[in-house]
Amino acid sequence: MEDLKEQIIRQLNLQEVKPEDIGNDQPLFKEGLGLDSIDALELIVLLQQYHNVRIANPEDGPNIFYSIRTMAEYITAQQNKTA
Amino acid sequence: MKAYIQGTGCVSPQDSSVFPATIREYEGSRMLVADPDYRQWIDVKQIRRMGRVIKMGVAASHISLQDAGVAMPDAIIMGTAYGCLADTGVFLNKLVTQKEDMLTPTAFIQSTHNTVGGQIALLLGCHAYNNTFVHGAFSVEHALLDSLMFLGEDPSRKVLTGAVDEITDYSHTILSRFGLYKHTKNTGLLQSRTTGTIAGEGSAFFVLGAEKDAQSKAELTAVEMLYKPASAEEVRTHLEAFLKRHGDVDLLITGRNGDVKDDAVYGTIEDALFPQHPVAAFKHLCGEYPTASAFAIWLGTLALQNREMPAAAMFKGASPANLKKILIWNHQHTTHHSFILLTAC
């Protein structure tokens, strides 16, 4: 999850945010880290670029991108499926 | 048609917190903006998506609005020659390296020329007329003309107008291949008498109103352009007619840039039409770029407010006491000549 936080900070250019500032269960959007719809597109690309994971059903997006933990669990689950 | 400059803001290679008492010195072939702390004007969450050129434009526009005491302009009209070059480069690079796949939106949406005007409007929540002129070295002048016409339709309006341009590593490398720049010190640039100049960048914004009020800092009396004059004689004829219409001036600000090929015409016409006039310059302070005349307007307005041109900007003679009328004559590559007349309020 620490690697994922660093990837997100780099991809979204989150100036002045450090990995330790992002809680594993903290919401990424709105009241949490304050990400928006453009960031959501950046996160989709991040999953493809860094983890070779695609989101099959766009309706799952809000659940997958809810927090660092939900993202990490989705990545692990998808990678286990293809392993 | 004329207007009153009611607020000014500038982000340039000079540190505006100490300029003109202290001039920043550069050695090299480009002068980069002395970045202020942009977080003064832009929220940290929003700043992360902004390229340098956007931050420069947003900062300069906010400073000018604050200076004018205007919360919401009736129009945002600006000029840029290169637009958001850095983000255009980022996007095009990704297009190539990622083989047109997995392209993210951020660089793309920031790479258009009107992104700066759009960002200023978004941050202000301004839904008014918003236009960006991309007319090379005439971009500032066309933004000013549009602003004057906009004020002509309704004199109660306030227009936020200005310009921005940036240097990137790519653009500087490409433009250097044309032999446009040389390695030198900006403090000796105007006396260098060789070919080439120093590249520059920056943003200057102004709040314009049609009616003079307590905020008015200078009158924008006239804006004219002359494209590709056939000879120095044609420039002289144009300037003579300009002076006949508007009267003599106290001070001339030229766009001298230290390149002998560009500066020759200034010397020739100064000798003919302004032999006794003091002359100031500005490109040793901000560098050469297509919208540099916006910096000259900012400098001229500052001088008119103080009734004196800073000594660091004087090229020939001393600033006249009680300065009242300034002609800014700038050209780029001898093809784009602009004449901007400023009068004290």
The per-residue pLDDT for range B179-196, each reduced to its tens digit, is 999 999 999 999 998 999
The 10 Å CB-count burial string (b at 16+, else e) for B85-118 is bbbbbbbeebeeeeeeeeebbbbbebbbbbbbbb
Question: Is residue A72 within 8 Å of A6, Cβ to Cβ?
Answer: no
Question: What average pLDDT is seen over chain B?
Answer: 95
- Whether B177 has a pLDDT exceeding 90, the answer reads yes
Task: Please report, as a single letter, which amino acid is at residue B192.
Answer: S
Which residue would you say has higher pLDDT here, A58 or B177?
A: B177
Q: Which residues lie closer than 8 Å to B176 by C-beta, 6 or more apart?
A: B29
pLDDT class of B45 with cuts at 50, 70, 90: confident
For the stretch B62-72, pLDDT in tens is 999 999 999 99
What does the angle CA B173 – CA B174 – CA B177 come to, to the nearest 5 degrees? 90
Q: Are strands B336-344 and B75-79 parallel, antiparallel or unpaired?
A: unpaired
Which residue would you say has higher pLDDT here, B141 or A48?
A: B141
Q: Which residues lie closer than 8 Å to B292 by C-beta, 6 or more apart?
A: B200, B202, B255, B282, B283, B286, B330, B332
Contact (CB<8Å) B48/A48: no
- Give me the phi and psi of B79, to 5 degrees please: -130, 145
- Whether A32 has a pLDDT exceeding 80, the answer reads no
Strands of B194-263 (E only): list them. Answer: 202-209, 218-227, 251-254
Q: What is the three-class DSSP state of B30?
A: strand
- Whether A82 has a pLDDT exceeding 80, the answer reads no
pLDDT class of B49 with cuts at 50, 70, 90: confident
Q: What is the mean pLDDT of residues B254-263?
A: 97
pLDDT for res B157 = 97
Distances (CA, A) of B134 to B84, B112, B147, B171, B331: 12, 11, 15, 17, 17
Q: How far apart are CA B309 and CA B305, in angstroms?
A: 10
Question: Is residue B165 within 8 Å of B79, Cβ to Cβ?
Answer: no
Interfacial B residues in 229-268 facing A (CB < 8 Å) = none
pLDDT for res A30 = 79
- Whether B18 has a pLDDT exceeding 90, the answer reads no
pLDDT for res B150 = 98
CB atoms inside a 10 Å sphere around CB B218: 24
- Whether B200 has a pLDDT exceeding 80, the answer reads yes
- Whether A31 has a pLDDT exceeding 80, the answer reads no
Question: Is residue B308 within 8 Å of B323, Cβ to Cβ?
Answer: yes
Question: Is residue B165 within 8 Å of B132, Cβ to Cβ?
Answer: no
pLDDT for res A74 = 94
- Give me the phi and psi of A29, to 5 degrees please: -105, 165
Query: Which region, left, alpha or beta, applies to residue B322 given φ > 0 means left and ψ of -120 to 50 means alpha?
Result: left
Q: Where are the alpha helices (DSSP H) in chain B?
A: 44-47, 52-68, 85-97, 105-109, 115-124, 139-153, 169-176, 232-246, 260-273, 283-286, 293-306
Q: What is the mean pLDDT of residues B258-273?
A: 96
Percent of chain B with pLDDT over 90: 89
Q: Are strands B27-28 and B184-185 parallel, antiparallel or unpaired?
A: antiparallel
Q: How far apart are CA B342 and CA B4, in angstroms?
A: 9
Percent of chain B with pLDDT over 70: 100
All structural domains of chain B, each given as residue ranges with its CATH number in brackets, are: 3-209 (3.40.47.10), 219-344 (3.40.47.10)
What does CATH list as the number for A2-14+22-82?
1.10.1200.10
Q: What is the mean pLDDT of residues A7-34?
A: 86
ipTM over 0.90: no
- Whether B60 has a pLDDT exceeding 90, the answer reads yes
Q: What is the mean pLDDT of residues B285-291?
A: 98
- Whether B83 has a pLDDT exceeding 80, the answer reads yes
Question: Is residue B213 within 8 Å of B68, Cβ to Cβ?
Answer: no
- Whether A83 has a pLDDT exceeding 80, the answer reads no
Is residue B125 less than 8 Å (CB to CB) from chain A? no
Q: What is the mean pLDDT of residues B315-321?
A: 95
Is residue B102 less than 8 Å (CB to CB) from chain A? yes
pLDDT class of B340 with cuts at 50, 70, 90: very high
How many A-B residue pairs are in contact by the CB < 8 A criterion?
A: 24
What does the angle CA A13 – CA A17 – CA A22 come to, to the nearest 5 degrees? 115
Lowest mean per-residue pLDDT among A23-37, A65-79, B13-27: A23-37
Contact (CB<8Å) A16/B49: no
pLDDT for res B236 = 97
- The DSSP code sequence of A18-52 is -GGGS-TTS-SBTTSS-B-HHHHHHHHHHHHHHH-
Mutate to test the interface with B, among A16, A21, A50 (most CBs of B within 10 A): A16
Nearest CB to B104 within list A15, A16, A42: A42
Contact (CB<8Å) A45/B104: yes
Residues of A with Cβ-Cβ distance to B102 under 8 angstroms = 45, 48-49
Contact (CB<8Å) A41/B102: no
The neighbouring-strand residues paired with B281 are B254
Q: How far apart are CA A44 and CA A53, in angstroms?
A: 9
Q: Which residues lie closer than 8 Å to B35 by C-beta, 6 or more apart?
A: B11, B52, B55
For chain A, what are the domain ranges? 2-14+22-82
Is residue A21 less than 8 Å (CB to CB) from chain B? no
Q: How far apart are CA B208 and CA A42, in angstroms?
A: 40
Taking the CA of residue B97 and the nearest CA in chain A, the distance in Å comes to 13
DSSP code, position B38: G
Is residue B95 less than 8 Å (CB to CB) from chain A? no
Q: How far apart are CA A24 and CA B275, in angstroms?
A: 73
Question: Is residue B314 within 8 Å of B275, Cβ to Cβ?
Answer: no
pLDDT for res A68 = 94
- Whether B160 has a pLDDT exceeding 80, the answer reads yes
Closest to B42 measured CA to CA, from B51, B33, B34: B51
pLDDT for res B239 = 97
For the stretch A34-44, pLDDT in tens is 888 889 989 99
Angle between helices B260-273 and B232-246 (to 10 degrees): 50
- Give me the phi and psi of B205, to 5 degrees please: -130, 155
pLDDT for res B108 = 87
